[in-house]
Amino acid sequence: MKKLILITTLCLGVSACKVNPFTGQKTLNFYPNSQIFPMAFAQYDQFLGDNKVLKGTTDAHMITKVGQRISAAAERWLSANGYPGYLKDYKWEYNLVDDKTVNAWCMPGGKIVFYTGILPITQTETGVAVVMGHEVAHALADHGAQRMSAGTLQQVGAVAGNVAIKDPKKRNMFNQAYGIGSQVGVMLPFSRGHETEADRIGLQIMAIAGYNPDEAANLWRRMKANSGGQAPPEFLSTHPSNDTRINNLTVWAPLAKEEAAKFGVTSYK
C-alpha cells in the first residue's frame, strides 16, 4: 500500500508538467481545462443566480469594458510570444455584484466577479484595471487548477502517513503536525506565490491594455488604509502583506511599461 501511494504521488507529480507562458516555468497542474472549466462555469452560473448582478449601470459597463481590454491585451501578448491558441477554451465574463465585500475574484476559464464594495477603493477605471489585471492573471496562469492539484497531493500525503503509522497515538501526532506543517509550510506559501505572480502578470497586461501600471501601488496603499492595519502575519496568510505588494508593484511598474512599449503602448489612461 505504501509503495502504491508513493508511486501514485510520483505519477501525479510527473504528469503535472504544464508550462506557465508568462514565467516559462513548469507548474503543478494535472487537471486539464476540459475537466476543470465546465465545473467552474457551472459554479459561476449558480453564484450569479444566487446573487444580485447589476446590469446596465455605468459601473457594470466599466467592469465589462476593462475586462475586455485586459483579456484582449493578454491575447495579444500570448499570440506574440508563441501561444496563439492558449485561450481557445476560455469563456470570458465580467459581472458586477451588489455586495459590500471589498473583493473581486476569478474562476478558471475567465469567469470574473467584482463586488461593488471594492469600487470606492479602485476609484477610477485605471484602479479597476489593476484589480482586473490581477484576476485575469489568475485565470491565465491556471492558479485554480494548481490549487486543486496541490490540495490533492496534500491529501495523498496525509493518507500515506496514516497508512504507514500503525500506532494510534503516533498517528494522531502525525495528523496534527502534518496538518499544521503542510498548511503553514506548503499551502500558504503556495497561495502567496500565486498572488505575487498574478500581481506581476496583471501589471504587465494592464500596461499593454493602455492603463498606467504606476496606479497599482497607489491602489494597494488605499487597500492598506482601508484595512486599518488589521491583517494576520504574512506567513499565516494566503496573500502577501500590503507593504510587500506595494514594494513589489513599485519595482515592477517600469518593467511593465517596457513590455508594453514592445506593443507600441507608450502613453496611458
Given a contact cutoff of 8 angstroms between Cβ atoms, the answer to whether 100 and 116 are in contact is: yes
Is 65 part of any domain? yes
User: What is the reported pLDDT for 6?
Assistant: 42
C-alpha to C-alpha distance for 174 and 219, rounded to whole angstroms: 43
Is 165 part of any domain? yes
pLDDT in tens, 206-219: 999 999 999 999 99
User: What is the reported pLDDT for 120?
Assistant: 97
User: What is the reported pLDDT for 41?
Assistant: 96
Spatial CB neighbours of 44, under 8 Å, sequence gap ≥ 6: 93, 107, 111, 113
User: What is the reported pLDDT for 145?
Assistant: 73
Is 82 part of any domain? yes
C-alpha to C-alpha distance for 260 and 90, rounded to whole angstroms: 23
Active-site residue (options: 75, 93, 125, 135): 135
Long-range pairs of 262-267 with CB within 8 A, sequence gap ≥ 24: 262/80, 263/76, 263/77, 263/80, 263/208, 265/207, 265/208, 265/210, 267/210
Given a contact cutoff of 8 angstroms between Cβ atoms, the answer to whether 71 and 110 are in contact is: yes
Is 122 part of any domain? yes
User: What is the reported pLDDT for 1?
Assistant: 38
Is residue 215 among the annotated active site residues?
Answer: no
Look at residue 226 and tell me whether its pLDDT is greater than 70: yes
| Three-class SS state of 128 | helix
Is 61 part of any domain? yes
Cell of 259: 513590455
The DSSP 8-state label assigned to residue 186 in this structure reads I
Task: Please give the mean pLDDT across all residues of the chain.
Answer: 85
Min mean pLDDT across 2-16, 52-66, 119-133, 222-236 is at 2-16
Cell of 54: 447589476
User: What is the reported pLDDT for 192?
Assistant: 79
User: What is the reported pLDDT for 45?
Assistant: 97
Cell of 95: 459581472
Is 23 part of any domain? no
pLDDT in tens, 124-170: 999 999 999 999 999 998 877 777 766 676 677 777 767 778 777 77
In order of 28, 126, 136, the CA distances from 67 in angstroms are 27, 11, 8
DSSP symbols for 63-95: HHHHHHHHHHHHHHHHHHTT-TTTTTT---EEE
| Cell 503536525 sits on residue | 177
Q: Output 260 or 5, whichever has higher pLDDT.
A: 260
pTM for the full predicted model? 0.82
**Residue range of the domain that includes 252:** 28-261
Q: Output 8 or 85, whichever has higher pLDDT.
A: 85
Query: In the chain, pLDDT over 90 holds for what percent of residues?
Result: 59
Is 4 part of any domain? no
Is 22 part of any domain? no
Q: Output 50 or 32, whichever has higher pLDDT.
A: 50
Q: HSE of 213 in the Cβ direction (CA atoms, 13 Å)? A: 30
pLDDT in tens, 36-89: 999 999 999 999 999 999 999 999 999 999 999 999 999 999 999 999 999 999
> Number of folded domains in the chain?
1
Given a contact cutoff of 8 angstroms between Cβ atoms, the answer to whether 217 and 188 are in contact is: no
Helical ranges in the chain per DSSP H: 2-14, 33-50, 58-80, 119-122, 125-140, 143-164, 168-182, 188-208, 215-227, 242-261
Spatial CB neighbours of 222, under 8 Å, sequence gap ≥ 6: 121, 123
